[in-house]
Chain A
Amino acid sequence: MKIAVCVKRVPDMDARFRISADGTSLDEAGLKFDINEPDAWAVEAGLQLKEKAGQGEVVVLSLGPPAVQETIRKALSMGADRGIHLAADRVPFDGFSIARAIAAELKDGGYDLILFGKMSPDSSNGIVGAIVAELLDYACVTAVSGLEMADGGGTAKRELEGAQEFVEFTLPAVLTVDEGLNTARYPSLKGIMAAKKKPMESKPAQLGEPMVTIKSLEMPPDRPPGKIVGEGAAAVPELVRLLQTEAKVL
């Protein structure tokens, strides 16, 4: 089985973010970056499928500036076979542009499965996987939290609001991976050493013209300071009074 896994380099969300002077991008100075966590689950899923089959190839792809090669190396150190870097000055906000470039690269690659994380927390759109599926005319299942493969297809579990959906799909397919499918392995020292020798190809990303652009960024307004009503059960009557008279939610 030939599997592509698309990964993104994202900043640590614990950071305090600053808006750049241009007003439309974030200042990346001082930020720490790592692989997007749901993408690491997707890498793990790809590796497990290959290990179970006893054969196949896991190809890791990332789009962005040269620094994304670190993210590809991380996936290689987990056990992926080779990397593809789609070079761009920056990762555009427009998910369609990203998807177009990924689809152009994967189109003639003969992949049985293309895996993505469900979403990345930086752009918070969660659309690239399904657009790639449409552009390649692959079957698509999003937010997969359980997976069983069979000949020519598989069964996936999806978490919906207050329900679980079990779907059957045919290959080739695009899956986006949600929490619960697996726990991503840590790279071993041996894996880290081996990753240095694994092939990584870099080529320009065919992004095309974006249809969505950022006009401005702003910090959200602070919530007005709250108050500690009191301590222990004795504070409950006052809380209830405030919920009734001030917040008017009871």
Chain B
Amino acid sequence: MANILAFAEQRSGELRKVALENVTAARALADATGGEVHALLVGAPGIAQKAEQLGKHGADVVLVCEHDALGDYNAEAVAALAADRIKSGGYRVAVFSTSAQGRDLLPRVAAKLGVGVVTDVTEARIEGDAVIVKHPINIGKVIATASIASTPAVIGLRPGNTTLVENPKAAKVEQVQPVGDPSAARVKVKEMKQGASAKLDIGDAPVVIAGGRGLKSAEGFKLAEDLADAFGNAAVGATRAVCDDGWRPHSEQIGQTGRVVSPDLYIAVGISGAIQHLAGMRTSRTIVAINKDKEAPIFKIADYGIVGDVAEVLPALTAAVREARKSH
């Protein structure tokens, strides 16, 4: 029997989708060994209300730590708390996400515990004394199967790679206390600027419309935004060239030095498909490419392609998607 700890990432008091992915993946690991899933939820007073959502996805116990100094992400305090809980709880695996927050947090936790850690994990299982994980290397051109020999093992799941499963449990809520004084951290969040709107993030959206230089200008991205609006559950992403030119923020950049996304549907518009871009989206479930160059490399990995000018194809696609969704 092995109990698993899942970290429940939140921002501004709302659970992030990766929190539910962590719990879902932890449930599968725990079920394989007959163990329990404990979720760690840290935030400002009131965050305990989110425990129910974690139970819905399979948490047996939700460990809630509420503190005024924990509303914003507080890396030092959260890492100290997580390491303390993992150690005292005797967990076999601690499951985080390879989100911006997770990538910041999980090496700190592993260092405090002196245990093995792997990020960007696409599969994990417990095998005897080891935790075996799959982890893409060399921008996804090679898949490594790695063995983490320590107990516990700390892993960071690739965001969007875990299909959410509802596995309701009547989660027991336990209040836990911070370790030390969270107000004393050496790194403090002074300000958080949310994106331009309340639109979905590319890491959470089931549909991503990604634009490249083929959209010709920052204004050209209106075509991609219109298509995203037509879907209703889509976010807009961009290539590195576009972000370097300042047409879109780097937070939307998909690829080797940007974000890795795995949406259900990825529509690449005006993107030729440099290998560095493919590294960030090749695990998308369905890929559509629209490009005027029929030799563009993006067509080699796309499931469906349209050869044509994006300025002509996108408005027609936007109208057709609106029509299709109306009939739902």
Give chain A residues whose Cβ lies under 8 Å from the Cβ of B221: none
Given contacts A212-B147, A216-B144, A240-B317, 13 further A-B contacts (CB under 8 A): A13-B138, A13-B139, A19-B142, A142-B100, A143-B104, A159-B100, A161-B16, A163-B193, A168-B190, A211-B148, A213-B149, A220-B136, A235-B306
- CB-based contact A93/B144 at 8 Å: yes
Contact at B117–A13, with CB atoms within 8 Å? Answer: no
Check A226–B299 contact: CB distance below 8 A: yes
Segment 214-238 of A: residues with Cβ below 8 Å from B: 214-220, 223-224, 226-233, 235-237
B250 lies within 8 A of chain A by Cβ? yes
Interface stretch (choices B24-32, B45-53, B60-68, B197-205)? B197-205
On A, residues with C-beta under 8 Å from B are 11, 13-14, 17, 19, 26, 37-38, 93-96, 99, 118, 121-131, 133-135, 139-143, 145, 155, 158-170, 173, 178-180, 210-220, 223-224, 226-233, 235-237, 239-240, 242-244, 247, 249-250
Nearest chain A CB to B271 CB, angstrom units: 15
B75 within 8 A of A: yes
Q: Quick check: A134 and B108 within 8 Å, CB to CB?
A: yes
In the bound complex, residues from chain B placing their C-beta under 8 Å from that of A26 are 138, 142
Task: Judge if B99 is at the interface, Cβ distance under 8 Å.
Answer: yes
Complex contacts, B72 vs chain A, CB 8 Å: 165
Q: Are B137 and A123 in contact (CB under 8 A)?
A: yes
Mind listing 25 A-B residue pairs with CB under 8 Å? A13-B275, A95-B107, A124-B120, A126-B119, A130-B104, A134-B112, A142-B104, A161-B100, A161-B203, A161-B204, A165-B73, A167-B187, A168-B188, A179-B243, A215-B147, A217-B143, A219-B141, A223-B287, A226-B302, A235-B307, A243-B304, A249-B207, A249-B264, A250-B321, A250-B324
Q: Number of B residues contacting the other chain (C-beta, 8 Å)?
A: 101
Neighbouring B residues of A121 by C-beta, 8 Å? 138-139, 256-257, 279
CB neighbours (8 Å) of A212 from chain B are 116-118, 146-149
Docked-complex contact B288 and A169, CB < 8 angstroms: no
